Amino acid sequence: MNERICLVTGGSSGIGKETVRVLSSRGCRVYEFSRSDAADPEFATHMKVDVTDEESVTQAVDRIVNEHGRIDLVINCAGFGISGAVE
């Protein structure tokens, strides 16, 4: 079976970082999207992507698909701050 091609947004810290580590340890080829911080290169290929920018996401996804022909798994761990009440 071919290795799984995985994409983790927000993979440079917190839950996303641990997700990257676990997927990599299980033999997955992991790409990590974040705006600035890079994941450990031992576990993932970092791509500087702002997930709120559709063009940035499209270009990065296209790059992965062009290289591998597919993405098998996407896990969204990207977060953002919300100020004020949520109604």
Low-confidence ranges of the chain (pLDDT < 70): 1, 37-39, 80-87
Start-to-end Cα distance in the chain: 47
pLDDT on residue 1: 46
pLDDT on residue 39: 64
Which domain range does residue 60 map to?
5-76
Which pTM was predicted?
0.84
For residue 42, give the amino acid letter: E
pLDDT on residue 28: 96
pLDDT on residue 42: 82
Query: What is the tens place of the pLDDT at every residue in 23-42?
Result: 999 999 999 998 876 667 78
In a domain, 83, yes or no: no
- Contacts of residue 66, defined as CB under 8 A and 6 or more positions apart, other chains included, come to none
In a domain, 18, yes or no: yes
- CATH no. for residue 50? 3.40.50.720
31 membership: H or E segment, kind and range: strand 29-34
Number of domains in the chain: 1
In a domain, 47, yes or no: yes
